[in-house]
Amino acid sequence: MVSNLIRMNLAMQRKPWSGARIFWLSVGLLLAAGTIALGVTNADNPPLAVDLLASACAAWTLGMALAPVFSGGGGIRAEHFALLPIPPRKLAAGLLGAALVGVLPAVALIAFAALAIFGFMHGIGPGLIGVAVTLLQLIVAVLLARVVHGVMGQAMQTQIGMELVAFYIALLVAMVSVGWFAIEPLTGQTAEVLTEGWPPALSTAFRVLPSGWGIVAVDAAFKGEWGLVIGALLAFGGLIGGLLLAWAALLARSLTLKPASRSVRGSAGPVGPALDRWLPQNRLGAVVARELRAWVRDPWRALELRIALWSGLLMGAIPLAAGFTEVLPFAGITIVIMGSVVSGNLLGLDGSALWQTILTPGAERIDIRGRQWAWLLIFGPVSLAVTIVFTLVTGHHWAWPLVLALEAALLGGAVGLMVVFSVFFPSPGIDPRMRKNPMDSSGEMVTGAIVMPWLAGLTALPAAAVSIMGLVDDNLLLQWLGVPVGMLTGIGLAWGLGYLAYRRLEARGPELLNLMLKGATPQAKKDAKPSPADAAWKTLPLGKKIVVYVCGYLFWLPLLPQGLVPLVFKLFGIDEVKSWFLALYLPDVWQWPAILLMIAIGVGMLVLMIQIPRQHQQQRAAQLREQ
C-alpha cells in the first residue's frame, strides 16, 4: 500500500518546475549545505559542532513543522481514503511513507545527512550510527509536522483552540522576523555562537529536544558511551511509535469531521443582521458584508486574520525583552504589513465562486473595491488603535508624526497591493466548497509572504522619507508633512492598484476562473496559451533562469538597504545609526564608493533580470524566423 500512496502523492503534486520553485529549492539546498558545513568545519571541536548541529536540526524540524501550513494543499489527504476499509494505523503508516517522498523531505535529508558525515569523520562506528539517526531524524521531523498539522486541525474546531493555533503560528513568524532581539540578551554576542557555542542552558536544551538526539547519539558513539547511543535509539523508537499512534488517532477523528465552518450565531452573532443595519444596502455594501462575514466565518481566513494581528503585536513586543521600547509604537504598522501578507491571495481563497462575479454585469470593479473596504474596516481601526495606544504608553512622542505618516501610507499601499497580488498571482488551493478540514488552506503563499512586506514597505517610502528628514533636521513642520504625504500616496495607491486589479479581472475573468477550477495542474498550464515571452522563458537554460530569479528576488538588497538608505543617511549626516548598512562601517573615504557600488550592483541585477529573458526572446524569435 505504501508504494501506491507514494505514487499517488507524487502524481497529485506533480507540477511544472516554475522559477519560484527552483529558487526555493536552491535556497533549501544552500541551507542544507550550510548545515553540513557546520559539522565539517568544526569537526576538530566536537562540543562546538554538537552544539551547532543540535540547534540546526532543531531549526530544520521546526521549519518542516510549519511547511504544511504555508505550502497549500495539493497532495494526498486522509479524506481520500474515508470510504476504504483501511485501519487508521495502517493508513498513518502509509501516509508517512508518502510524506517522506518529496522535494522538501529530500532537501531535509541532505541537511540531516550532516549527522552521518560528522560521524564518519570520527570513525566507522559513529558514521553508521550517523546514517541511522539521519533517517530517524527525518522521520521524526516529518511525523511531527503531520501531527502538529493534525492537532491544529482538531484545535481549530473550537474557538479557544483556533486562538491558540493563531498565537502559536504568529509567535513563530515573529521569532523568525525579530527573534534575534530576544536571543541576543540571552546569548551575549550572537556572533560568538559560531566560535564558542551556545550558553550552557541553551546548549543543554538543544540536546534534550528530540531534534538533538541524533547528534547526541553520534557524539556518544565517538566517545564510546554505547549506553547513551542505545538509549537515544530506543528513545527515537518510542517517539516515532507514539507519534504514529497519535497521528492515527487524529486521522480517525478527522475522517468524521463535519465541513469546516464556524457557526452562525443568528441575530446574536457579530455578523448577523446587525451588519446589514449599518452597511449601506447597495452593490458595494453587499460585497463588504460578504467579505466581513467570510473573515469571521471561514476558519482559514479567521486564522489568517488573527495571525496578522498577533504577529504584528509580537514583533513589537519581543524587542521589549531586550529593553527596546522604541519598536512598540511601530507594532500597529507591522499589523498592517502582516495584514497585507495574509490577504495576498483573496481570489484563491474564494476559488471557483469567481463565476458569480464574472456573470454579474459590472461586478468586477465592485468586488475589488468591496474587498478593499472590508480589509480597511478590519485592519484600519485595529492598527490605528495599537499605534496610538503604544505610542502613548511608551511615551515616545517624537514618533507621532512618523508612525501616523507610515500608518496612512501603508494602509493605502497594502490595500492596493493585496488586490493586485490576488488578481495577478492567484494561487488556487482546495476549492472552498471542498474544504473539510479547517486547516485546508488556499494555495501556496510562501513567495507572497516573502515579497509582500518589502513591496508594502516601499509604498511608504515617500512618507517615511519626508518624516525622517524632518526628524533629522529637527523640523516639526517637515515631520508632520509626512502625514499628508502618506495619505496622498496611500489614497493614490489604493485607488490606482485597485484600478489595475479590476481591469485585469474584467479582461481575464474566464482565464482566472479556469485556473481556479483546475488548480495549478500541468493541464491548466498547458491550456493557457503562452505569450511569446512565456514561451521564450520556457526554453531559457536553467542556469540563466536561476540567475534571473536570484536577481529578481535579491536586487533590492544592494539597491535599497545597502545603497539608497545609507545614501540618504550620508546626505543628512546621520552617523549614529549603522545597523546593517555595510558602507557605513567602512573608513570615510570608502563610504561613498561603497554606496555607489551597491547601487550599481542593485541596478545591474535589475537590468539582468529584465535583459536576460528579453535577449533570449529576441534570439528565439530570430531563430524561428530563419526556420
Say which residue the cell 491548466 belongs to.
524
Is residue 363 at the binding interface for another protein, with CB under 8 A as the rule?
yes
Give the residue, chosen from 371, 435, 545, 616, that forms a contact with another protein under the rule CB under 8 A: 435
Give the residue with the Cβ less far from another protein, 253 or 297: 297
Distance of closest approach, residue 275 Cβ to another protein, in angstroms: 9
Is residue 440 at the binding interface for another protein, with CB under 8 A as the rule?
no
Give the residue with the Cβ less far from another protein, 259 or 530: 259
> CA triplet 22, 28, 34: central angle to 5 degrees?
135
Give the residue with the Cβ less far from another protein, 261 or 579: 261
Is residue 270 at the binding interface for another protein, with CB under 8 A as the rule?
no
Candidates 567, 414, 556, 420; CA nearest to 486 is: 414
Give the residue with the Cβ less far from another protein, 219 or 298: 298
Is residue 504 at the binding interface for another protein, with CB under 8 A as the rule?
no
Give the residue with the Cβ less far from another protein, 145 or 156: 156
CB under 8 Å to 89, separation ≥6 — which residues? 244, 245, 248
Is residue 514 at the binding interface for another protein, with CB under 8 A as the rule?
yes
Give the binding range for another protein (CB under 8 A) out of 255-263, 327-335, 468-476, 566-574: 255-263
Is residue 293 at the binding interface for another protein, with CB under 8 A as the rule?
yes
Give the binding range for another protein (CB under 8 A) out of 293-301, 329-337, 388-396, 437-445: 293-301
Q: What is the DSSP string of 83-146?
A: TS---HHHHHHHHHHHHHSSHHHHHHHHHHHHHHHHHHTT-HHHHHHHHHHHHHHHHHHHHHHH
Please list every residue from 91 through 120 that binds another protein, using CB under 8 A: none
Contact (CB, 8 A) for 149 and 438: no
Return d(Cα 443, Cα 441) in angstroms, integer. Answer: 6
Give the residue, chosen from 355, 425, 499, 592, that forms a contact with another protein under the rule CB under 8 A: 355
C-alpha cell at 293: 462575514
What b-and-e string marks burial along 391-425, b requiring 16 or more CB atoms within 10 Å of the CB? beebebeebbbbbbbbbbbbbbbbbbbbbbbbbee
DSSP state of 521: -
- DSSP three-state, residue 531: coil
Give the binding range for another protein (CB under 8 A) out of 154-162, 218-226, 294-302, 458-466: 294-302
Is residue 253 at the binding interface for another protein, with CB under 8 A as the rule?
no
Give the residue with the Cβ less far from another protein, 273 or 587: 273
Is residue 341 at the binding interface for another protein, with CB under 8 A as the rule?
no
Return d(Cα 416, Cα 408) in angstroms, integer. Answer: 13
Instruction: Looking at 255-344, list the stretches that DSSP marks H as alpha helix, in order from N- to C-terminal side.
Output: 273-278, 283-297, 299-317, 331-342
Give the residue, chosen from 30, 194, 264, 274, that forms a contact with another protein under the rule CB under 8 A: 264
Give the residue, chosen from 2, 22, 358, 606, that forms a contact with another protein under the rule CB under 8 A: 358
Give the residue, chosen from 72, 351, 429, 558, that forms a contact with another protein under the rule CB under 8 A: 351
Give the residue, chosen from 3, 4, 158, 261, that forms a contact with another protein under the rule CB under 8 A: 261
Give the residue, chosen from 54, 136, 513, 536, that forms a contact with another protein under the rule CB under 8 A: 513
Distance of closest approach, residue 305 Cβ to another protein, in angstroms: 13
Distance of closest approach, residue 283 Cβ to another protein, in angstroms: 5
Distance of closest approach, residue 263 Cβ to another protein, in angstroms: 8
Give the residue with the Cβ less far from another protein, 510 or 541: 510
Distance of closest approach, residue 517 Cβ to another protein, in angstroms: 7
Return d(Cα 114, Cα 103) in angstroms, integer. Answer: 18
Give the residue with the Cβ less far from another protein, 295 or 330: 295
Give the residue, chosen from 15, 297, 503, 544, that forms a contact with another protein under the rule CB under 8 A: 297
Say which residue the cell 492598527 belongs to.
383
Give the residue, chosen from 3, 41, 282, 539, that forms a contact with another protein under the rule CB under 8 A: 282
| Cα distances (angstroms) measured from residue 377 to each of 336, 390, 502 | 12, 20, 20
Please list every residue from 518 through 537 that binds another protein, using CB under 8 A: 523, 526-527
> CA triplet 385, 261, 99: central angle to 5 degrees?
100
Contact (CB, 8 A) for 18 and 447: no
Give the residue, chosen from 326, 473, 511, 534, that forms a contact with another protein under the rule CB under 8 A: 511
Contact (CB, 8 A) for 485 and 502: no
Is residue 285 at the binding interface for another protein, with CB under 8 A as the rule?
yes
The continuous run of DSSP H or E covering 495 comes out as: helix 476-518
C-alpha 182 chain-centroid distance? 21
Is residue 159 at the binding interface for another protein, with CB under 8 A as the rule?
no
C-alpha cell at 558: 544592494
Give the residue with the Cβ less far from another protein, 354 or 405: 354
Sign of CA dihedral 62, 64, 65, 70: positive
Candidates 278, 271, 343; CA nearest to 309 is: 343
C-alpha cell at 48: 562546538
Is residue 432 at the binding interface for another protein, with CB under 8 A as the rule?
yes
Residues in the chain, overall count: 627
Candidates 347, 348, 352, 349; CA nearest to 368 is: 347
Is residue 360 at the binding interface for another protein, with CB under 8 A as the rule?
yes
Contact (CB, 8 A) for 470 and 482: yes
Give the residue, chosen from 79, 163, 225, 431, that forms a contact with another protein under the rule CB under 8 A: 431
C-alpha cell at 437: 478540514
Q: Could you tell me how many residues of this chain bind another protein (CB under 8 A)?
A: 45
Give the binding range for another protein (CB under 8 A) out of 263-271, 537-545, 552-560, 617-625: 263-271
> CA triplet 453, 111, 122: central angle to 5 degrees?
145
Is residue 178 at the binding interface for another protein, with CB under 8 A as the rule?
no
Is residue 45 at the binding interface for another protein, with CB under 8 A as the rule?
no
Give the residue, chosen from 57, 193, 289, 404, that forms a contact with another protein under the rule CB under 8 A: 289
Is residue 418 at the binding interface for another protein, with CB under 8 A as the rule?
no
Is residue 362 at the binding interface for another protein, with CB under 8 A as the rule?
yes
Give the residue, chosen from 85, 227, 361, 543, that forms a contact with another protein under the rule CB under 8 A: 361
| Cα distances (angstroms) measured from residue 229 to each of 125, 202, 222, 348, 496 | 11, 22, 10, 49, 63
- DSSP three-state, residue 572: coil
Contact (CB, 8 A) for 98 and 8: yes
Distance of closest approach, residue 267 Cβ to another protein, in angstroms: 10
The residue ranges that bind another protein (CB under 8 A) are: 258-261, 263-264, 266, 276, 281-283, 285-287, 289-290, 293-294, 297-298, 350-353, 355-356, 358-363, 366, 431-433, 435, 510-511, 513-514, 517, 523, 526-527
